[in-house]
Amino acid sequence: MRTLLAAALGAIALLYAPFASAQCTTCSPLSLPSSTLVGPDLQAAREASWAIVTQGTTGWVGFPRQLADNAPFEARHGARYDLFLTTIQATALHRSGLGVDVVAPFGLLASRTGAERRSELSFGDAEVRGRGTTLLGRSVRLTAIAGAALPTGGYTPRSGAEALGESSRALTIGRGVFWALAEVEARWEPSRHLALTASAQGRAPLGEAADGFRWGPELRTLGEIEARPIAPIGLALGGELSLRGNGSIVDPFLNERVASENVGATIVSIVPSVRASLGGGVSASLSGRVPVHQDLVGLQFQQGPGVFLGVGYAFPIGGSARVPAAPSEKAATHEEAQKTRYVVREYGADWCDACKRLEPLFEASKRARADVRFERVDVTDWSEAELARRVPGATSLPIVEVSRADGTLLARLEGENAFSFAGHLDRADRTSPITRTHKEEAR
């Protein structure tokens, strides 16, 4: 029965919750691994007014044995826990980078004590979060999230199977209390084949659970390097630090609050991942989490390795997004369109010195060539990935495209080569049948 329930949870995640990013749904040992907060979803939003992102991650984590002050603790009957956790998230994201997340986790927590088997299938604590993302140049992306976790999950006083007592308190799918949460992330993509990510996720309880237990604050940080040797495939390796504060309970004999020694923890983990962009807004990821150091306070279950699968879909909605146009990009009149023979389009950015040096030459050519329509596209806020998607093969700015009026691309020039666009126009004139006809009529 437990296997069938776990398989059902995985199937639901694959069918109804695409996308690859999995945040700290619960920062307890049951949480999913950290990952990037915004990716192709922002690109989809920039293609229109909004993007809707549905994403889901399902996985397994084992807790094979109990430790007492970090030393093996053998109870009369051996005991262990296994968690099968699925998280579904929906995000509405505006092209400005502002958005709202709704997160719904649920899972199966199974325990084994000797010959006894118990399982707890429960909805987890839902989260509602606001997010904001800004791009610095085309290579740095900053994201901030703030929101709350709601006590919608099943919380068992003393947690889990009561026979295991305090040692299993931290192993609960629901946590019985409101939490305030905040997350920040910085992602740097120096090239299309490399990305560096750093993130921090913190939360604090707003009150105490029904049994009087008060959780301690929690913090997780992640540092990750991702390489993309093949364009749609990314290989990532991260290091994760998880800090969980001790809680407190009301002593029924002393009638006062005292520390609970069986919750606090410091856990360092290695997080390897494989990610793939499958096209059409679909992404997938396969991640692992391997604890390499655990400092557990009091009597607790030791966390074992975990594996997680994520899939997702990001799609734009609303009107098509338009790249902000410079004054020279205003719609051409019918008369102008009739006499236009070539189009010269420049992709430039505020932070690009070469683009600024190109401007005077661009303006001079515009005054000299009435048969050429000059356009500028501002890519200041584009990411590396977005530039590569819209201008395939581009490696450096400025980029100048020289095309015929019918859209036939004659040349794409990058970097210092962009300054030679006038020569390509002259070469096109010499080979154009229309130009030769005009010269013959003049003779």
Residues 437 and 303 in one domain: no
Residues 219 and 110 in one domain: yes
The DSSP letter of residue 70 is T
Q: What is the pLDDT of residue 397?
A: 87
DSSP string, 373-388: EEEEEE-TT--HHHHH
Residue that wins the pLDDT comparison between 151 and 55: 151
**pLDDT one-digit tens code per residue, 77-91:** 678 889 898 888 899
Q: Does the structure show a pLDDT above 60 at 249?
A: yes
Residue that wins the pLDDT comparison between 13 and 188: 188
Domain end among 296, 320, 344: 320
Tell me, what CATH number does 35's domain have? 2.40.160.40
Instruction: Give the pLDDT band of residue 257 (cuts 50, 70, 90).
Output: confident
Give percent of the chain above pLDDT 90: 25
- Residue in 135, 89, 81, 138 with CA at minimum distance from that of residue 110: 81
Residues 333 and 349 in one domain: yes
Residues 173 and 139 in one domain: yes
Residues 197 and 290 in one domain: yes
Domain end among 290, 320, 350: 320
Residues 130 and 67 in one domain: yes
Cα separation, 193 vs 229, whole angstroms: 6
Q: Does the structure show a pLDDT above 80 at 161?
A: no
Cα separation, 52 vs 93, whole angstroms: 6
Domain end among 273, 291, 320: 320
The mean predicted confidence, pLDDT, of the chain is: 78
Residues 166 and 43 in one domain: yes
Mean predicted confidence (pLDDT) in 33-58: 68
Residues 186 and 130 in one domain: yes
Full-model pTM: 0.69
Residues 241 and 117 in one domain: yes
Residues 135 and 75 in one domain: yes
Per-range mean pLDDT, top range of 53-67, 328-342, 384-398: 53-67
Q: What is the pLDDT of residue 4?
A: 42
Residues 293 and 226 in one domain: yes
Q: What is the pLDDT of residue 288?
A: 92
Residues 33 and 165 in one domain: yes
The neighbouring-strand residues paired with 92 are 52, 100
Tell me, what CATH number does 424's domain have? 3.40.30.10
Cα separation, 419 vs 10, whole angstroms: 55
Per-range mean pLDDT, top range of 278-282, 421-425, 431-435: 421-425
Instruction: Give the pLDDT band of residue 355 (cuts 50, 70, 90).
Output: confident
**343 and 78 Cβ atoms separated by less than 8 Å:** no
Total tally of structural domains belonging to the chain:
2
Mean predicted confidence (pLDDT) in 176-184: 93
Q: Which long-range contacts (CB under 8 A, 24 or more apart) does 394-400 make?
A: 394/347, 397/347, 397/348, 397/349, 397/352, 397/354, 397/355, 398/346, 398/347, 398/348, 398/352, 398/354, 398/355, 398/358, 399/346, 399/347, 399/348, 400/344, 400/345, 400/346, 400/347, 400/358
Q: Which domain does 98 fall in, by range?
A: 2-320
